[in-house]
Structure 1
Amino acid sequence: MKNYSKSFKALWIGEIVSELGGAAGGIVNGLLLYELTGSKEWMGILWLIYFIPSLILQCISSPFLNYMVKERLLRNIQLIRSFAYLLPLLGFILVSENGAIIGLFILQCLLGLMQPIYASLSFSLLPELCEEKELVNANALLDGTLRLMSFLAPGAASLFLLFIPIHFIYVFSAIMFLISFLSLKRLPDNPKQAVSPWTKRFWWKEMKEGYKIFFQYPGLFRLTLLSSTVQFAVGVTMVLSVPFIRGSLDGEYWEYAIFSAAFPVGYVIGTWILTSLPKSPLFMYIGLMGGGLSFILLFFTHSIPYAWLCELSGGILFPLFNAQSAAMFQKGVAKERLAQLSSVRLFFLRLTMPLGILFASSPFWDLGVRPVFLIIGTIILVPGLFYFLITLKNTGSTSFIQVK
C-alpha cells in the first residue's frame, strides 16, 4: 500500500467501508422483508426494485458522466446512501411494520439509482490516481478487498443480531457510508472537468456518440462480453447455491455458509497471487478458463468438500481475468471518454446478472441444478479457450484494444 498515492488510499478506504456497510445492509434487507412478509414473491420484488431503476439509469446516464466533477459526485452519493439506510429504521419507529417495508423499498430504489453512477465514476477515476503500471495491481487490490468485505459482512451482521434488533443494524450501514464520505473528502476535485449545458439535444448526441465509440473498440467490446459471461454466472449462482448445497448435496446450513465464503476467500488469495505473476493476456485468459472450469466441475461434484474446493479455485482464478481486463479497458480508452464508456461497459455487466437470475429461476427450462452449472461453465470456458489459442498464436501482438 505504501507505493500508492494518498488519493488512491482515500478511494480504497472509502470503497471498503462502504462495501462492508452495504453488504451488511443487504443481508438485513432480505432478513427483514422475509420476517415481515414471509413471502418469497416479495423478495423477488425487492430485487426488481433495485435492478430496474438501476439499469434504466445506467443506460441513460452515460452522456453526462464525462462532464461531472467525479470526486464531488462520489462524496454526494455516499452521503445520500448514508441517510437512505436510516429509512427502514425511521419507518419502523414512526409507522411500525408497514413503514419499515415502505422505507425498505425506497432504500432499495435509491441504492439501485446510486450504484451505477458510483461504480462508473470510481472505475474511471482510478487511472487518474495510479500510474499506468500500477493499474492491474490497483484493480486487483480494490476487487479483492471488496470481496473480503462481502465475506466479513455476514459475520458482522450475525454478531450484531445477537445483541440488537434487526432494524438497528441499519445504523451500522449508515455509519459506514458516512465514514466513506469522510474518506472521499480527501480526494481533491479536478478543476479541469468542465460542466456542459444539459439539453435534450446534447444528451441524445452524447448518447449516440458514446455507444458508437464503444463499438469501435473491438477489443474493448470483446472483454466486456467475456466479463458479462462471468456476471451471468454470478446471477445464476445467486439462485442455485442454496438448492445445490441444501438439496443436491443434502448439506447443512453451516456447510452452505462455508460454500458461500469459499469464493471470496479464494478471490483474496488470487488477488495476492496476481501481484507476483506476469501481467499478460495469456494469464488473463487462463484465469477465465479456470474460472469456467470450476463451474463445470460442480456438475460432477457429489461431495460437499469438493464443492468447497471448486468455489475456492474459482475465486483464486477469476481475479487473473477480472483485474487485468479492467486495467486493459482503463488503459485503452481516452481519459476524456473513460467515465462515459465505463458506464456503457457497466450497463452490459449489470444487465447480464439479472438475466442469469431469470435463467436459473425460470420454470420453463426444467434443467435441474447440476446441468445449469455445466452450461454456465461452458459459456465461460469455450470463449476463454478460443481467445487463449488466438493469443498464443499471435504472441507478438500486445494490443488488444484497438479502434477499427
Structure 2
Amino acid sequence: MKGLLRNRSFVYVWSGNVISELGGAFGTFCNSIMVYQLTGSTMALSSMWLLYFIPSLILQLFIGPFIDRRRRKWTMIFSQWTRAAVFVVPLVAWSTGHLEVWHIFVVQVVVGLITPLYVPANHAITPTIVAVDQLKEANSLLESSVRLMSFTAPLLGGLVIEYIGVNLTLIFVVATLGLSGGLLWFVKEPAPMRGVRSTWWKEFGEGISYFFKQRIVVWLGFFLVFVQFGVGVTMVTTLPYITGELGGSYAAYGYFMAGFPVGYILGALLVGRISFGRTRLVMLGGLAIGGLTFVGLGLNESSLIVAIVLEVVAGVVMAVFSINNTVLCQRIIPNHLMGKIFSVRLFIIRGVMPLGVLVGGMLGEVWGVRPLYFLIGFMIAVVALVGMLLPYFRFMDTELEERKVS
C-alpha cells in the first residue's frame, strides 16, 4: 500500500476516480429523482437509462482502436470535463423553474457517449503506471475507494434533496467532475508504442480476434453479463421498490443505495488482503450468493433494514467476483491491446444492460418489483452454480493457476 501511495501518477488517477465517482453518483441520483418526480413512472426511468445505454453501446463498438493510439489520460480528461459541462443544462433549467424531462435525457445521452471513452481508458491506464505485482492491490484500492464514494453519494444525496434541494447537488456534480479532470492532467503516463498505424477496421478486428481466442476472457465476460443484466433491472426498480413496496422516503432510498457500496468496500478489502483458494469457485460462489440476495429482496415485504443488509451482502460478494475478474483480464491482455480489448469486453457485457433496463421498466409495471427480483436472482444463482459444478469449466482453474492468480 505504501508503495502505491508513493506513486504520484497512481495517486492522481486514484483521486480523480474517487472524486469523479462521487460527483457522478450524485448526478445519477439527482437525475433519477427528478425524472420520477416529473413523471411518477418506471417506464420514464427506463427511457432515461435506455437513452444512456443506446448511444453508449453504439460508440463502444467503434472507439476501442482510438483509445490505444494516444495517452489514455487525455481521453479521461476530455471525458470528465465534458460530463461537467453537460450537467450545467439541468442545473440552469432547475434554477430557472423550467426543468423538463428532455433536459435530463440530454444529459443521459451525452454521458452515454462519454462512458465508452472513459471506462476502457481508465482500466487500460492502470497497468501502465503500476507494477504487475501491485495490480490486485491497486484495483482493490481503486474499487474500494470508488465504492466508498458511491456509498457517500446516495446517503448524502438523499438528505440534501430531502432537506435542502437539487441546486446544491447539481453544483457539486459540476465542480467535482471538473476537478477530477484537472487532477488527471498531472498523471505521468508512458507514451504508447509508435508502430505502423493500421486502419480502424484492422485494429478493431485485432481486438475482436484476440478477445475470442482467449476463452477464459470470454467466459469471464459471459458471467459478468448476468451481473450487468441485474444492474440494469435495479436501475429502474430500486426507487419504486423503496418508496412504493417498502413505503420509504427519499432519505430511505439513499440509505438503501448506500448498502451495496458499503459491502463492496468490505469485499474489496478482503480481495486485497486475503489469499483465497480456488479463484473460480470463490468468484462464482460470490456470484451465486449475489443472485440469492435478489431473491431475498423479492421475498422481503416490509423491512427496510432487511433490504439494506441484503444489499451489503451483495456488495461484499460482488467485489470478490468483479475485482478478480478485472485483475485477470489486466494480466492476460497485452498493453498495446488493452484499450481495444476492454472496449470490446465492455461492449459485450454492457450490451445486456439496456435489456435489463427494458425488462425492469416493463415487467416492473406489470408484475411489480418483488416478483421481478425473485426471477432475476434465481437466474443469476443458477448460472453461477452451473459454472461451479459443470466439469467443462475446470479449464479456468488450470489457466488461473498458470497465471498465479490467488
Confirm or deny a common fold (TM above 0.5): yes
State the Cα distance separating 1:190 from its structure 2 match: 2.4
Q: Is the 8 A contact 2:9 2:189 kept in 1?
A: no
Equivalences, count? 396
- The amino acid that maps onto 1:137 is E
Residues 175-217 of structure 1: CA deviation (Å, up to 9, x unaligned):
101211121112114223449768xxx2222223322221111
Which residue among 220, 224, 231 is the counterpart of 1:227? 224
Q: Is the 8 A contact 2:36 2:42 kept in 1?
A: yes
Distance 2:244 2:38 in 1: 26
1:308-347 alignment runs, 5 A limit? 308-347=308-347
Distance 1:374 1:258 in 2: 22
Could you tell me which residue of structure 1 aligns to residue 70 of structure 2? Answer: 68
Q: Is the 8 A contact 2:69 2:192 kept in 1?
A: no
Q: Is the 8 A contact 1:72 1:189 kept in 2?
A: no
Distance 1:362 1:162 in 2: 28
Could you tell me which residue of structure 1 aligns to residue 200 of structure 2? Answer: 203
Change (3 A) 1:190 1:384: same
Change (3 A) 1:73 1:318: same
Q: Is the 8 A contact 2:27 2:169 kept in 1?
A: yes
Residues 21-79 of structure 1: CA deviation (Å, up to 9, x unaligned):
11112222234445566666554443332222111101121222221321122122222
Could you tell me which residue of structure 2 aligns to residue 290 of structure 1? Answer: 289
Distance 1:369 1:38 in 2: 15
Residues 248-286 of structure 1: CA deviation (Å, up to 9, x unaligned):
5x4433555433322221111111222232153332222
Could you tell me which residue of structure 2 aligns to residue 399 of structure 1? Answer: 400
Q: Is the 8 A contact 2:158 2:254 kept in 1?
A: no
Q: Is the 8 A contact 1:328 1:401 kept in 2?
A: no
State the Cα distance separating 1:125 from its structure 2 match: 1.2
1:24-173 alignment runs, 5 A limit? 24-34=26-36, 42-91=44-93, 97=98, 103-158=103-158, 160-161=160-161, 166-173=166-173
Distance 2:364 2:340 in 1: 37
Change (3 A) 1:169 1:257: closer
Change (3 A) 1:368 1:278: same
Residues 116-162 of structure 1: CA deviation (Å, up to 9, x unaligned):
21001001111122222322232222222222212211333345547
Give the alignment's TM-score, normalised by structure 2: 0.86
1:269 aligns with 2:266: yes
Change (3 A) 1:113 1:63: same
Distance 1:397 1:190 in 2: 33
- The amino acid that maps onto 1:72 is W
State the Cα distance separating 1:17 from its structure 2 match: 0.4
Structure 1, 252-261 or 380-389: larger mean CA deviation = 252-261
Distance 2:18 2:395 in 1: 39
- The amino acid that maps onto 1:97 is H
Q: Is the 8 A contact 2:70 2:191 kept in 1?
A: no
Q: Structure 2 stretches of 5 or more lacking a match? A: none
- The amino acid that maps onto 1:252 is G
Residues 374-398 of structure 1: CA deviation (Å, up to 9, x unaligned):
3322332233223334499679724
Change (3 A) 1:105 1:376: closer
Could you tell me which residue of structure 1 aligns to residue 213 of structure 2? Answer: 216
Q: Is the 8 A contact 1:281 1:391 kept in 2?
A: no
State the Cα distance separating 1:359 from its structure 2 match: 1.7
Could you tell me which residue of structure 2 aligns to residue 379 of structure 1? Answer: 379
